Amino acid sequence: MIEDEGDLTFSTGEKVPINIENLYRGHTCFLVVSGPSLATYDLTQLKQPGIITLGVNNSPKVFRPNMWTCVDDPEKFMISIWKDPSIMKFVPFGKYNKPIFDNIKWEMSNLTVKDCPNVIHYFRNEHFNAETFLTQKTVNWGSHKKFGGKRSVFMAAIKILYVLGFRRIFLVGCDFKMEKGKENYAWKQDRHDGSVKGNNSTYNEMKTRFTTMRPMFEDAGLFIYNCNPNSEFKVFSTINYDTAIKLALAEFPDTLTEKAEGMYERKSLEK
């Protein structure tokens, strides 16, 4: 099994621990994945103050998130993600020295992950266990083939958000199905028959795993909702996207009417 540091979740590339567990204690996050339905939402709503987002893989092609994560080699993902200091990037520890592909010049760049800003490394394990998924320090992303296979960035994203303290997650762009000859991403992306079959097989396994884990999540205070009513991932309750936005902002101040004038003088004037 790779990268399993036992009691360590997040670190620098030099294995210096980074203590950011529960940094967002009790808050809501929108998990932005890459299904074709992602292109159907008014994503400008996710840019409002008070809303935080985490994207995966190449989903920033459609929407630039606050945070981002991956599980595969860095060269599969757009160079603008790696160079963007405004995106906090959660990257498997084993990718620290991996090179980055320049998709503008369409050639390998001279950058590696360690050269990029705002990168936090996480440690993974490859043996899925529903009972310990939330409690183990390392991030499970499925199982190595010797344990049955089927790994996914989706699993890693859920665990990372839980460790960061988020307790309500809204899924956006979560379709969980691929079809031959159809648009299977929110941008143009060819997929050969083997990839379509493999992804659908993984989706089916995700449904089984998350069906098992949903009661455990809710016992731990973690609630997940899917903003796509047409999704094949029906493990979690669906919610209207606009309603999800309103719920996320329910206790957040109206920044347009929020008053700044008098804040410096307030205490002296009260005296």
Q: What is the CATH number of the domain that holds 242?
A: 3.90.1480
Residue type, 41: Y
Per residue in 117-133, pLDDT (tens digit) is: 999 999 999 999 999 99
Range 167-200 burial, b when 16+ CB lie within 10 A, else e: bbbbbbbbbbbbeeeeebbbeeeebeeeebeebb
- Mean pLDDT computed over every residue of the chain: 93
Residue 158 vs residues 69, 185, 215, 232: alpha-carbon distances, Å: 10, 20, 15, 18
Q: Strand, coil or helix: what is 79?
A: helix
The reply to whether 172 falls in a domain is yes
Cβ atoms < 10 Å from Cβ of 51: 19
Q: Which of 36, 81, 73, 37 is nearest to 55 (CA)?
A: 81
pLDDT tier at 4 (50, 70, 90 boundaries)?
confident
The reply to whether 178 falls in a domain is yes
Q: Strand, coil or helix: what is 124?
A: strand
- Asked whether residue 1 carries a pLDDT value surpassing 60, the answer given is no
226-245 mean pLDDT: 97
Q: Which domain holds residue 263?
A: 10-270
- Asked whether residue 108 carries a pLDDT value surpassing 80, the answer given is yes
Q: What is the pLDDT of residue 64?
A: 98
- Asked whether residue 271 carries a pLDDT value surpassing 70, the answer given is no
**pTM of the full structure:** 0.95
151-167 mean pLDDT: 97
The reply to whether 2 falls in a domain is no
The reply to whether 206 falls in a domain is yes
The reply to whether 41 falls in a domain is yes
The reply to whether 140 falls in a domain is yes
Per residue in 179-219, pLDDT (tens digit) is: 787 777 777 877 777 788 878 788 899 999 999 999 999 99
The total domain count for the chain is 1
